[in-house]
Structure 1
Amino acid sequence: QQGMGIAAAGMYAQLTTGKPARIVTRTGSRRRASQVLVSIDTNRNRPELHGKKTVDWRVPHGTRVELTMEAQHRSGAHSVEMYLKLTAIANPHVTLHYVDPDENVVTFERSSSRLPALPVEIKPHPHGVELGRLIAMLRNTEHKSLGKFLKEEFSRVGTKTASEIIERADRGLTTRSYSRRVAKKQAGALYRAIQKTKISAPTSDCVVPIGEELMLQGLRKEVEAELYLAVCRPPAVYRGNPFVVEVGLAYGRPGGGHELDDSGRIVKLQSPRAGVEDLLSHAGEPVTLLRFANRVPLLFQQGACVMTKAVVDTNWRSYGLNQPKGSLPQAAMVLMLHVASVWVPFTSESKEAVAAYPEIEREMSLALRECGRRLRTHVKKQQRLARELERRTHIERYLPHVGMALQEILDIDDVRRDALVERLDETLHHQRKV
């Protein structure tokens, strides 16, 4: 189950089979690979290394971790294969190979060779610091004056902002007050002053979102649909922590919609590729909801997640979809929601759902509405095309009869009659507006 962590996974393997973890690593093609067996000393809570040696390994560089455990291998929405499939969607730069217990090999090929940008380390934002941490920072700082402490230990705090905070705190504090001698009551006043002071949001380069382009690539690679949309919101802040919300959408079964070709004729959209596993729900069924936090799929506790709440609270009926009250919308659609943050507020230690902070829910709602507006344009276009196709089909049935009537009235031969019917057909498809 997601959220165990490698330490807990190794512990579970050791408890169920008694076998240590086997780790093989190689830093370059000119070096031999190193192998070590790692077990956990449960009494002292520390690792124990066994049998370290060099081995031959065909992989030029990388690390391999092997765990032998007792577990149930299942298929379906909560399976290992589904977890990897969703990981491939959120990480289109990664190629994944999976061998199941029956020796079947499943490969998720990368669709992009562009690696994500590395996050930049930033100092804590004042609005995200708790009182206890502020007191600890005051005790351990190397900056003697309080003004210098605020400017150097926090992000987005300049000389003017530091002076404003200290002046608002009062309690006899000045910019020259000795940081390590600030009393607890003074620290409390300083903390309250920080919360009341308007401070610029932290920079977003410490957060690495997927991006609209890569999100679309990931969806196209793993989901067959007729329409793909992606929205990446500007960086926002909750409790001083920067975060970015992204929403992707794959709508409509391939072959189910229509489009205008270059000649002005209405034609069916391309049919799906054979053998592609289907993530799309069917029309009349709830949409498939894919939730991610920092590119990691969230498979469990969907009902407890703020992402689900944001989707349910969005009025999808105004965007052309059916939606029972208090439920997910119904359509052949996949909704992908992603939260990227330096600190994702999970509801529990298992990291299965994101807590409902108002700031996060608001950004989710705004992104969903933007996707909904673009989706509505597509849905209305499909409805217009369907109505127009029905009209044209109805008119086309009478064109041969019109041709025969004109032949009789104009006294023309069959060749001219057929040419006239063809011209009428071209006029029908070229001059009627959609």
Structure 2
Amino acid sequence: MGARQREISVSEFFTKNRHLLGFDNPRKALLTCVKEAVDNALDACEEAGILPDVVIKVEVAANGEAAPPASQATRFRITVTDNGPGIVRQQIPPIFAKLLYGSKFHRLRQSRGQQGIGISAAGMYGQLTTGKPVVIVSRTSPRAPAHYFEVQIDTKKNEPRILEKKQIAWEAPRGTQVTLEVEGRYQKGRASVDEYVEQTIIANPHVKLTYLTPEGESKAYRRTFEQLPASPREIKPHPYGIELGMLLRMLQDTTHHTLSGFLSADFSRVSPNVADGICKSAGLSPRARPRDVHGQAAESLYKAIQATKIMAPPTNCLSPIGEPAILSGLYQQIKGEF
């Protein structure tokens, strides 16, 4: 029995449990794939300080046969193109073909995604349902070459498998284009791709978006707000938001040499006076080495933190849409009297 035991990669796990990633049924899967690609495009543009120009194209994948009507099709090709900063060549395969690979997970900062699963999971879904790779074209500047990749996930190792890579001529001066071929179902109405696009424009009036529907219709949404949202600020964890296990890990990982310094520097809203008070309540020396605090001492520290009155975390780390921006989005999309 023991000889049969082996490690399971995260890719293998999600291959058999794809419903956990939003691929419950073909209709939802199509929406999830579009959303993940668009989220990546918007985040890339905003982090680089670029007003986003995004093109979404969803078309029926005929595969050499006569294309059925969009409402009856079961396979679609999704292409999302942005004018963002592009991706350096070495990073393209892991970003699109490795689960739990990303830049946001270890940052406590407002963002559309965090785990590094989204776009690579969409690619894995396409790989499972159609056998097709993810196709990426990206360029970082007008002077740099455009890199073309076809990648799939090696689900046993959770590593990218590069099927093709080359430099190509591409008309865009910079940006990224990702193409997925997936099984799905196109249907208008609630929780559809069409509704998602309309809601995205309301919430992001600084985006210029073109949507090419599976029925061949082109919908252009102009930019109605010429300012990017304020960039969200990274924040330290609040003491009330952690559990004992996380506290133990932070005690081992900290670069500070005293317990009081660790509490006041690695947490939000903990001043040196509050840190000293927590140490006193826990019966620990403020000058104790954080790495020496474990077992019962760590549990006492955790209970002291929870019993100490600490200010709520600041809200200036958030980036709300703002009244002028949301109104400009509403005026464009919703016909009514305001």
Aligned to 1:217: 328
Aligned to 2:185: 72
Look up the equivalent residue of 1:214 and give its one-letter code: A
Q: Secondary structure at the match of 2:199?
A: helix
The counterpart of 1:127, out of the listed 237, 240, 243, is 240
The counterpart of 1:174, out of the listed 261, 281, 285, is 285
Q: Does 2:212 correspond to 1:113?
A: no
Aligned to 2:145: 32
| Matches for 1:170-209 after TM superposition, within 5 Å | 170=283, 173-209=284-320
> What is the CA deviation profile of residues 129-157 of structure 1, one whole-angstrom value per residue up to 9, with x for unaligned ones?
11110011112222221111111111221
Instruction: Return structure 1 stretches of 4+ with deviation > 4 angstroms.
Output: none
In percent, how many aligned pairs have the same letter? 46
Aligned to 2:264: 151
Q: Does 2:165 correspond to 1:91?
A: no
Q: Using the alignment, how far apart are the partners of 2:286 and 2:232 within structure 1?
A: 32
The number of residue pairs the alignment matches comes to 225
> What is the CA deviation profile of residues 194-251 of structure 1, one whole-angstrom value per residue up to 9, with x for unaligned ones?
1121212222232211112211111111001112xxxxxxxxxxxxxxxxxxxxxxxx
Q: Using the alignment, how far apart are the partners of 2:289 and 2:131 within structure 1?
A: 56
Q: Assess if the C-alpha contact under 8 Å between 2:126 and 2:181 holds in 1.
A: yes
Deviation, 1:128, is: 1.0
Q: Using the alignment, how far apart are the partners of 1:99 and 1:6 within structure 2?
A: 20
Deviation, 1:48, is: 0.9
Q: Using the alignment, how far apart are the partners of 2:255 and 2:128 within structure 1?
A: 46
Aligned to 2:175: 62
Deviation, 1:99, is: 1.0
> What is the CA deviation profile of residues 19-72 of structure 1, one whole-angstrom value per residue up to 9, with x for unaligned ones?
101000111222231110011111212111122111111112110000011211
> What is the CA deviation profile of residues 289-313 of structure 1, one whole-angstrom value per residue up to 9, with x for unaligned ones?
xxxxxxxxxxxxxxxxxxxxxxxxx
Q: Using the alignment, how far apart are the partners of 1:147 and 1:102 within structure 2?
A: 63
Q: Using the alignment, how far apart are the partners of 2:324 and 2:311 within structure 1?
A: 29
Q: Using the alignment, how far apart are the partners of 2:119 and 2:304 within structure 1?
A: 41
| Matches for 1:354-369 after TM superposition, within 5 Å | none
TM-score, normalisation: structure 2: 0.64
Aligned to 1:18: 131
Look up the equivalent residue of 1:21 and give its one-letter code: V
Q: Secondary structure at the match of 1:40?
A: strand
Aligned to 1:241: none
RCO greater where, 1 or 2, for CA within 8 Å and sep 6 or more?
2
Q: Using the alignment, how far apart are the partners of 1:64 and 1:137 within structure 2?
A: 39
> Taking structure 1 as reference, are residues 3 and 102 closer, same or farther at Cα in structure 2, changes over 3 Å only?
closer
Deviation, 1:3, is: 5.8
Q: Using the alignment, how far apart are the partners of 1:152 and 1:86 within structure 2?
A: 40
Q: Secondary structure at the match of 1:67?
A: strand
Aligned to 1:101: 214
Q: Using the alignment, how far apart are the partners of 1:23 and 1:176 within structure 2?
A: 53
Q: Using the alignment, how far apart are the partners of 1:53 and 1:25 within structure 2?
A: 11
Q: Does 2:160 correspond to 1:50?
A: no
Structure 1 window deviating more from structure 2 (1-10 vs 62-71): it is 1-10
| Matches for 1:347-358 after TM superposition, within 5 Å | none
Q: Using the alignment, how far apart are the partners of 2:257 and 2:313 within structure 1?
A: 25
TM-score, normalisation: structure 1: 0.50
Look up the equivalent residue of 2:279 and give its one-letter code: I
> What is the CA deviation profile of residues 156-208 of structure 1, one whole-angstrom value per residue up to 9, with x for unaligned ones?
211111111111222xx111122111132111111111112121222223221
Look up the equivalent residue of 2:234 and give its one-letter code: E
Query: What 5-or-longer segments of structure 2 have no aligned partner?
Result: 1-27, 34-117
Q: Using the alignment, how far apart are the partners of 1:144 and 1:27 within structure 2?
A: 42
Deviation, 1:119, is: 1.5
What RMSD, in angstroms, separates the aligned Cα atoms of the two structures?
Answer: 1.5
> What is the CA deviation profile of residues 373-422 of structure 1, one whole-angstrom value per residue up to 9, with x for unaligned ones?
xxxxxxxxxxxxxxxxxxxxxxxxxxxxxxxxxxxxxxxxxxxxxxxxxx
Q: Using the alignment, how far apart are the partners of 2:144 and 2:262 within structure 1?
A: 47
Look up the equivalent residue of 2:311 and give its one-letter code: S
Deviation, 1:9, is: 1.1
Q: Using the alignment, how far apart are the partners of 1:83 and 1:10 within structure 2?
A: 20
Q: Secondary structure at the match of 2:183?
A: coil
Q: Which has the larger radius of gyration?
A: 1
